[in-house]
Amino acid sequence: MCRTGGQGPKGISCVLVEKGTPGLSFGKKEKKVGWNSQPTRMVIFEDCRVPASNIIGSEGQGFNIAMKGLNGGRINIASCSLGAAQASIEAAVDYVKVRKQFSKPLSSFQNTQFRLAEMGTEVVASRLLVRNAAQALQDDHPDTVALCSMAKYFVTERCFQVG
């Protein structure tokens, strides 16, 4: 994204800067606590010239393109949380089948069954919210921003409790 016009969102355009463009370089790979499957580096522009033909969409549409990217990112974050919660439930189910208390597996206790049912409900509700937001994004629904934001908020909060 770069400023190609006046102040405000209408002055921002989206451009493609091709690999190998003079002045384009990348910083070192960042060390992160989580989400290591997606490398993160600084993108550095020093006197980098990009032809006007590399504008994506039309001039001044950059902010809208960025917002669509943010909505997809919200769904992405929610989906990662959802996957972690699903894995947590599967691990918990495996554990309560083998761990014993009073000579019985934990899975035979009603409290354990209730908790697993609550966890399952949170995951199913979260999955539906993510799907609904993704469908809204795909269909360019008028409530897309709100639905993607809700999905990110609800799913990350609920799935943190599950994990």
Whole-prediction pTM value?
A: 0.72
Beta bridge partners of 56: 14
Rounded CA separation 41/66 (Å):
19
- State whether CATH 3.90.1150.10 applies to domain 66-162: no
The two structure tokens encoding residue 48: 């980098």
pLDDT value of residue 35 = 66
**pLDDT of 95:** 95
The domain locations on the chain are 2-56, 66-162
CATH class of domain segment(s) 2-56: mainly beta
Q: What is the mean pLDDT of each run of 10 residues along the chain (163 residues)?
A: 91 94 94 76 93 93 90 92 92 95 94 95 96 95 95 92 80
Q: What is the pLDDT of residue 73?
A: 92
The first and second tokens of residue 14, run together, are 């989206």
**pLDDT for the residue numbered 161:** 85
